[in-house]
Each structure stands twice: as C-alpha cells, then as structure tokens.
Structure 1
Amino acid sequence: MTNFKDLEKRKCVPCEGGIESLKKDAAEKFLSKLNKDWKITDDYKKIYKEFKTKNHYEIISIVNMIAWISHTEDHHPEITFHYNTAKVTYYTYAINGLSENDFICAAKIDYFIKI
C-alpha cells in the first residue's frame, strides 16, 4: 500500500530501473498532496512547477534551495531559470516516468518555500 502522507518527511529511495512508473491514479493522488501550482504533463511522465519572483537574487535563492534538496536526496530535476523565473521538472530517468521520489522532492520544495 502506498503512503501518500507526510511526503516532505520521507527520503528518496535509489531507483535504477526494474520497477514500473506510477500509474495515472497514483500520480494524481500524489499530485493532490502538493501545492496547487504543481502540474503534471499530459502523458503523466513528469511533474513541474514554475516560479516567478521580484528579482534575480530571489530566483537564484530558490534554485539553490532546489539544488540542495536534489543533492541531499540524490534525485535531480531539470531546472531552467532566467532573470526572475524558474521551472523545475521532476521525473525518474531510470523508469522514464514518475516515481514516489519525484513527489517527495516536490513536497520538500513546497515545505521550504512555506518557511
């Protein structure tokens, strides 16, 4: 049984393939536990969130926070950023789709944005 609670308190589990990506129902359930700004791609293989700040310094702070989470969880997203905008996209490369790890990292981003 999948645990959908307290994602921000959980740790990512290394994934080297050999498992199936999350099905649509599970992905939607996990997505419902995140901030409403997280979106899922039409093929249910990726989640993403876009950020907009007042200036470059603030967006760099967000990117650095995401980099810290990525490093500590050993689960790395795609990040693009410009002067005051950024987009972070999570998916699990080894399974070419979504895993619980993607939602754990997204929940940690939500947690740190709140404080």
Structure 2
Amino acid sequence: MKLSESQCEACQADAPKVSDEELAQLVKMIPDWTPIVVDGVMQLERVFKFKNFKLALAFTNELGALAEEEFHHPGILTEWGKVTVTWWSHSIGGLHKNDFIMAAKTDELISQ
C-alpha cells in the first residue's frame, strides 16, 4: 500500500519514534523530503516552489485543510513563490509513521 493511502493513527506521548531502520525504509518512499534535526528533534522538510504568492497561499490552504482532516498539523512557512513544510509528531518529539504518511499526502496535493 502507498503511504498516501494509509491513515494516521492517534499518536500518544508514549508512541514509539521510527527506528533508524524504519527511517531508512520510509524516507525512500518520499524521496523529495529531507530528514532534518531542529533543536534536537528529527523532522521531515520539503520546500515547494510556486510561480507567485497566490499559488503558494492556495497550496498552504489546501495543506491546512488536509491537516485538519487528519488531525495532524505541520509547520508551514509561506513566502513569495515557495512554501516550506515540516512534519514531525509534537507529542513524541520526533518522527512517527504518521509524519511519512502526511508527507506523502502533501506530495499528492501537488500532483492533483
């Protein structure tokens, strides 16, 4: 099954972070995303490019609606011509499979 067809599961503070082995497998499924560490927290980041601010804002709004549907919310920085999206699970302070699912679903917003 494709990541984008999976559903997020409720993530509690005691949920396990992805292991190094899982990270290596899952990141291959979302090749445009980069694992980064911010303040000691592993996150997934991707910069989406657009022709202008209006298109970047429209994408941001679509992503916001998706995040609300899934009840999993990213960091979003909207600028002229680009949107930087960062996924991580706040409750566990790192990456959960949900973050990879949402990264894949975010990618599909562009391909629609």
Q: How does the TM-score come out when normalised to structure 2?
A: 0.90
State percent identity of aligned pairs: 26
Residue 31 of structure 2 is aligned to residue 32 of structure 1: no
Q: Aligned-pair RMSD on alpha carbons?
A: 1.5
The aligned length equals 110
Mapping of residues 42-61 of structure 1, within 5 Å: 42=37, 45-61=42-58
**Shift, 1:112, TM fit:** 2.1
- Unaligned 5+ segments in structure 1 are none
Q: Distance in 2 between matches of 1:108 and 1:53?
A: 18
**Shift, 1:53, TM fit:** 0.9
- Unaligned 5+ segments in structure 2 are none
Kept in 1, the 8 Å contact 2:60–2:83? The answer is: yes
Question: Higher strand proportion, which one?
Answer: 2
Letter in 2 for 1:7: L
Mapping of residues 33-112 of structure 1, within 5 Å: 33-34=29-30, 36-42=31-37, 45-112=42-109
Which residue of the partner structure matches residue 14 of structure 1? 10
**Shift, 1:28, TM fit:** 2.0
